[in-house]
Amino acid sequence: MEVAVAFRADVEQEALEELWMEVAVALRAELDIESEDIEREPSIAAMVPSIDCLHSLAKPSRAGPGSPAASVSVASNMTKENRLDANRFSTVDADIIRGIPLRRSLKGLGHIWRYQPATWNPEQRAKLYNLSQKVQHFNVFVSHTWHTPGWHKTLALSFQCGWRSTLALWCVAEIASMLLCLADVLPMPLVFQANVTGFTDDCPMGLWVWSSGALALCLGLLLTPYVPEMCSPSEVGFIDVASIHQQDRALMERGVYGIGGFLRVSSELRILWSAPYLSRLWCIFELAAYRKVNPDGTIRFRPLFVERTALVLLISCLSFGFFVLGRSGNGSQVLLYTAYAWTFLTNWIAVAVLRSNYREKHQLLRELRQFDLNKVSCRQEFDRQFIHAAISKWYGSKEAFTEFVRQDLRRDLEPCLATRFPMRYLLLLCAAFSSTSLEYVLALWKGGAPTESILSLAVAVLLGVNVFVLAGICIAMNYLSDRFAARRFGRFDHVQTLLIVMLLAAAFGAGNFLGYIAYVSSLAHCILFAIGCGIAAGCLHWIEKTVPMPDGDTSEPS
């Protein structure tokens, strides 16, 4: 009997402890909800988190399961009207926090990024929710607009998530193909008539190094969704189409109007910017909310035109492989001229795309300078009331938020936009360009050239031309395309593009010719050439960083 009484007492004590724990959690959640009703006195600028545009050096957010920013309240029973009436715009609905690895979202050539509600049947929309998994917080909250083509975002995330694995695959492919050629496993039917530091002989040459490198770069980006987690852990992110149920109306409402809570538990807000972004009210809401509900978080601004530019330049660099055929001993002059024509054409396209992309950048600055919250479009009137009420609560008034966008936000983003081309993508371009030059280095090796000749070609071409000259050309191309982005000649605007391409072609031709003179002469001259090219590239980089661009507020001629 005493044992039964003791057992019952223990059970009652455990139940009492569990009850107290539930009360404590509920009390903490209620305090967290009440804290949303307290207006913060510091100025808007004081509450701004760090903004990172293209680099990844910003400090990590302290938002997480154990931080105040991640305090979770029970919001499953809150309707959108409840949130609006109670001013609880950032209350976290813990039951529906669902994330998806960013790389996984790229499967099927970015199938979910090409989501079209009008053309997808209910079963397909419901399956999207199963792609995500329940999480406690997000590494990344992806902010974007569905008014931008899905392939733009697929391309951007493929570069952002896959550049490391692509570069690693390129290194493996180049080393493997060179070893197979040295072991005479792969045939080398072409001939390179060498003239390097006194070594003149016919050397066997193939296309294996270039073709394997080009294939590795292309496959590396396409296979980004399938990279094993053990090789490169993928960031778990909020992607609206997968994290919010697209078929169940109740879950959809909880997810859409709980976005403020999702932002609260996100370490990073990544903005995939495109021209329509600032015209969508929900995009404005995400930007406004993150700055207030998660002040320790990091905002990364990723214009989608950067990766489109990288793709065009990558194709242009890979086109130099035609020179292997054109300059081989058994190649014809037709192939050589074809190589020059193709390279010129791809660079013309690259500059045309760059100028178009930088017009988007100038459009962004104009939109920020002329921003008007009342002119931002929204389909549902309730959504407009909901978002305007949240912004008024966080910033004091709609007018204060408008002024914040026009002044503080624009000043924060201008340095980000001045960073024209990320170094990580420049490494991919150098890799593509080097695939062609490695064919000649391998040919010298197979042809029995002395070590000095091999080193001379490697220093002058691989380091001097492929790294420093290419970097300088890319910097100049981006700078000139940005500086002369506006259409000035009406129908004859392509003449402006042609002039830029001709200037860049002349600069590259001069660098290539000086490299040829250096490796024909001696190893010492090759070293001096590489150092000179490095200094020139560094000066161009300094000029790009320090010389301000003209005010982008001027209108373009029609």
Residue pLDDT, tens place only, 118-133: 678 888 888 889 999 9
Choose the weakest-confidence range: 105-119, 404-418, 503-517. 404-418
**Backbone torsions φ then ψ of 291, nearest 5 degrees:** -65, -25
Residue 68: how many other CB atoms lie within 10 Å: 12
CA distances from 216 to 103, 211, 343 (A): 18, 8, 21
Domain boundary pick from 417, 432, 447: 417
- If pLDDT is split at 50, 70 and 90, which confidence band does 360 have? confident
Looking at the domain assignment, is residue 358 inside a domain? yes
At 330, the pLDDT band (50, 70, 90 cuts) reads low
What token pair was written down for 390?
Answer: 């949240």
pLDDT at 292 over 70: yes
Average pLDDT over residues 382-406: 88
Domain boundary among 417, 438, 455: 417
Query: Are 453 and 485 in a shared domain?
Result: yes
Q: Distance between CA atoms of 519 and 247, rounded to whole angstroms?
A: 66
173 lies in some domain: no
Contact 474, 332 (CB under 8 A): no
Per-residue confidence band for 441, with pLDDT thresholds at 50, 70 and 90: very high
CA distances from 27 to 23, 72, 94, 137 (A): 6, 11, 16, 21
* Whether residue 390 sits in one domain with residue 291: yes
In this predicted structure, the answer to whether residue 48 has a pLDDT above a threshold of 80 is no
Q: CB 428: neighbour CB atoms within 10 A?
A: 23
298 and 274 in a common domain: yes
> Is 107 a residue whose pLDDT tops 50?
yes
In a domain? residue 170? no
- Mean pLDDT to the nearest integer, 342-365: 84
CA 352 from centre of chain: 21
Q: Are residues 97 and 245 in the same domain?
A: yes
Closest Cα to residue 89, out of 405, 394, 398?
A: 394
Q: Domain count for the chain, please give it.
A: 2
**Domain shared by 74 and 114, yes or no:** yes
Residues 400 and 523 in one domain: no
**pLDDT average, residue stretch 397-418:** 81
* Token pair for 157: 């995330």
On whether residue 218 sits in a domain, the answer given is: no
Please indicate, yes or no, whether residues 490 and 342 belong to a single structural domain of this protein: yes
Is 80 exceeded by the pLDDT of residue 101?
A: yes
pLDDT for the residue 459: 96
Residues 436, 298, single domain; the answer is no
pLDDT (average), residues 416-435: 84
Between the two ends of the chain, the Cα-to-Cα distance in Å is 96
Of 216, 257, 245, 214, the C-alpha closest to 87 is 257
Residues 243 and 324 in one domain: no
Domain that holds residue 97: 47-152+230-303+370-417
CA distance 488 to 494: 10
Short-list 444, 463, 415, 369, CA closest to 203: 444
Q: What pLDDT shows up at residue 243?
A: 93
**Residue labelled with tokens 């074809």:** 338
For residue 367, pLDDT beyond 90: no
For position 328, what pLDDT does the model report?
A: 65
Confidence at residue 365, expressed as pLDDT on a 0 to 100 scale? 81
**Do residue 407 and residue 506 come from a single domain?**
no
Contact, 432 vs 217, CB < 8 A?
yes
Q: What DSSP line would sit under 198-213, residue for residue?
A: TB--EEEE-SHHHHHH
Query: Under DSSP, is residue 492 helix (H, G, I), strand (E, B) or coil?
Result: helix
Which range is least confidently modeled, 211-225, 303-317, 332-346, 394-408? 332-346
Angstrom distance (rounded) from CA 496 to CA 484: 8
Residue 172 inside a domain? The answer is: no
449 in any annotated domain: yes
Q: Is 214 domain-assigned?
A: no
Domain boundary among 417, 432, 456: 417
pLDDT digits (tens, 9 = 90+) for 1-32: 443 434 344 434 444 444 444 444 343 344 34
Give the integer Cα–Cα distance in Å for 468 and 471. Answer: 5
Do 386 and 505 share a domain, yes or no?
no
- Does 291 lie in the same domain as 253? yes
pLDDT value of residue 136: 92
Tokens of 206: 């193939």
- The DSSP bridge partners found for residue 250 are none
**pLDDT tens digits, one per residue of 222-276:** 999 998 877 777 889 999 999 999 888 889 989 998 899 999 999 999 999 888 8
| pLDDT at residue 521, as a whole number | 94
Residue 378 lies in a domain: yes
